[in-house]
Structures are given as structure tokens and as C-alpha cells.
Amino acid sequence: MFELPPLPYTYDALEPYIDARTVEIHHDKHHAAYTANFNAAIKDTPLQGKTVEEIFEVIDQYPASVRNNAGGYVNHNLYWQVIGPKGVAPKPMGMLADAINDSFGSFEAFKEKFAAAAMGRFGSGWAWLVVEADGKLAICSTANQDNPMMHIDGTCKGYPILLIDVWEHAYYLGYQNKRADYVSNFFNIINWNMVESLYADALMYYATKKQSNTQHKDDGHGGCSCGHSHH
């Protein structure tokens, strides 16, 4: 059974950027529903008892209910982790700051590109900052509850270290149709310590995978935290 991780802060901790009522409904209703529906979708299937990364590897072989609810569960786990009260860790530091500069030119250029991905996603979905196999960072977006680690068709691939939910349920009470304001305010609540920690996990994931592939040709897989109860 997958469990809904408790919110790592109080409902009002993200104010004024995300209001308490939105956080409460988003976590206690939407995220809780994905969790329950994910468990229901895999019940009595070969996926029951598997890890998230094992499920993601074969997700294209199962009905949409598995893909949508697995993604909804995992994506929201990660979402609550990478945000927090303003000022906790307002800017990327160290290796991650260097990687952002290498991949995008500057922190400002990164922000523009990330916001553009969030704005460019038509309808419901997510924008992502991912680490690719060569250690480079990339920005992309997915529809619905798809995740860049899922074995599905698509161009948004990599190990996720930051994401923004652009489903209307993430912002509608506070912002109504003004997604752009939600996206620009989102930069105030990113916990860059957590993103940096996930970046280190990503590098470890690829290093382990590479080593395992060398040893066993192609049957090895590293451990992906995939937004799963990190720390």
C-alpha cells in the first residue's frame, strides 16, 4: 500500500503565494484521492507490492487508470517537498547553481524558461526541471499526470528535481485564470536545498545505473527516489 505523506508544513505556510484553503484541498483531497485510486488501480495486479520505479518501467503495459494515478501520487509527493515557506532556501547554491548556469546561461534565464514551460502547457499538466543521463539539466513539460521517469512515449525525460503543478486545482482559488501570476509567485516558495539534494540523488542514480549496466549489460536499474518520501 502506498501512503499519503503528511504535508511537511502547515496549510498556511505557503501564504501569500498559495493560500491555506488551496493547500488543504490539494493535499487532503486531490493528493489523497490519487493515493487511494493508485492503490485501487494496482490491487490484485502484478504491480501490487512493486516499487514506484518498477511500476514506472512497465506503465505502458497497464490501463490509463494506473498511469494517471501513479503519476498523480508520485508527482504530488515531489511537489510538496520542493516547495516551502518563503526564504528557507531562496536560491540555488553550489553544484546546482553551477549546473543551472552551465545549462541555461544564468539563474534568470532558467526562471524564464521554466515559467515558459509552465505557461506553454495547454490544459492540465506539469513543468519540470530534470537531470539527463549526461548530468545536464533540461526543462520540459508533461500532460495530465505523466512523469519524466515513466516508460511512455514522449520527449520530456530525465530524473526530476523540480516541478510545478499547473492543473487549475493548484491555483484556481487564489488566482482564478491567472496562471502566469501563480507561476511567477512559485519562485518565492521553491526550497532550493531540497532541489539540490535531489540533484545529488540524480547524479548518484545515473552513476549507479551506469555501473550496473556495465556489470550486467542492460538488466540493471539504479534506485530512483521518484519523489518518494525523501529524507
- Compare residues 72 and 92 and give the one whose CB is closer to Fe ion: 72
Shortest approach of Fe ion to residue 94 CB, angstroms? 30
Shortest reach from residue 127's CB to Fe ion, in Å: 13
Stretch 169-188: interaction string toward Fe ion, x if CB under 5 A: -x------------------
User: Shortest gap between Cβ of 57 and Fe ion (angstroms)?
Assistant: 24
Q: Which residue has the cell 494496482?
A: 42
Of the CA atoms within 13 Å of residue 157, those in its CB half-sphere come to 11
Q: Is 165 in the site for Fe ion (CB under 5 A)?
A: yes
Q: In the structure grid, which three cell numbers stand for residue 19, read together?
A: 493560500
Which CB sits closer to Fe ion, 14 or 170?
A: 170
Q: How far is the CB of 34 from Fe ion (least distance, A)?
A: 8
Kindly report the backbone phi and psi dihedral angles of residue 146, in degrees, each rounded to the nearest multiple of 5, phi listed first.
-65, 155
- Assigned C-alpha cell, 47: 504491480
Contacts to Fe ion from residues 121-160, by CB under 5 A: none
61/83 Cα distance (integer angstroms): 33
Q: Which is nearer to Fe ion, 164 or 194 (CB)?
A: 164
Q: Which is nearer to Fe ion, 22 or 103 (CB)?
A: 22
Within its chain, how far is the Cα of 197 from the centroid?
Answer: 14
Q: Is 201 in the site for Fe ion (CB under 5 A)?
A: no
Binding segment for Fe ion among 6-14, 62-70, 167-175, 219-227 (CB under 5 A)? 167-175
Instruction: Kindly tell me which of 23 and 99 has the beta carbon lying closer to Fe ion.
Output: 23
CA distances from 40 to 44, 45, 57, 61, 200 (A): 9, 10, 19, 17, 33
47-106 residues near Fe ion, rule: CB under 5 A: none
User: Would you count residue 167 as binding Fe ion (CB under 5 A)?
Assistant: yes
Considering the complex, what minimum distance in angstroms separates the CB of residue 25 from Fe ion? 10
For residue 174, the surrounding DSSP H or E stretch is helix 172-175
The count of C-alpha atoms lying within 13 angstroms of the C-alpha of 150, restricted to the half-sphere facing its C-beta, is 25
Residues 112, 17: Cα–Cα separation, whole Å:
18
Nearest CB to Fe ion, comparing residues 31 and 157: 31
Q: How far is 16 from 129, CA to CA, in rounded Å?
A: 24
Dist. CA 2–CA 117, nearest whole Å: 30
In the complex, what is the shortest distance from the CB of residue 167 to Fe ion, in angstroms, rounded to a whole number? 5
List residues binding Fe ion (CB under 5 A): 165, 167, 170
